[in-house]
Amino acid sequence: MYFKQESALQINFLASAKFVAFTTQVESAGVAANADGRKIVPAGTILPANDATAKGILLHDTDVTEGPQPGSLVVEGYVISERLPVAPAALAIPELKEIKFR
């Protein structure tokens, strides 16, 4: 039997090994499919949106092809903002009260 081998590259955006994360539901609405037809929300995405509704930062890539999935949301810790897929918006930064950007 033949299995297609794939690899993933996930950039470490955490500046410290100490952080606090909680389970959250990662929504599939508005997520575009990649070349393989998969809908992946990348690690480092500010959820639920990069605006005044921000609650935390997604810790791992999450596949939402089949619909909403559980994910890990970092709510406290040190983050290297240059390594996030999208820079934190000015409205999101004050909402992420326990996240320190380096």
pLDDT in tens, 45-98: 999 999 999 999 999 999 999 999 999 999 999 999 999 999 999 999 999 999
CA 71 – CA 63 distance, rounded (Å): 9
Phi (first) and psi of residue 83, to 5 degrees: -95, -5
Phi (first) and psi of residue 95, to 5 degrees: -75, -25
pTM higher than 0.85 for the full model? Answer: yes
Residue 100's beta-bridge partner residues? 78
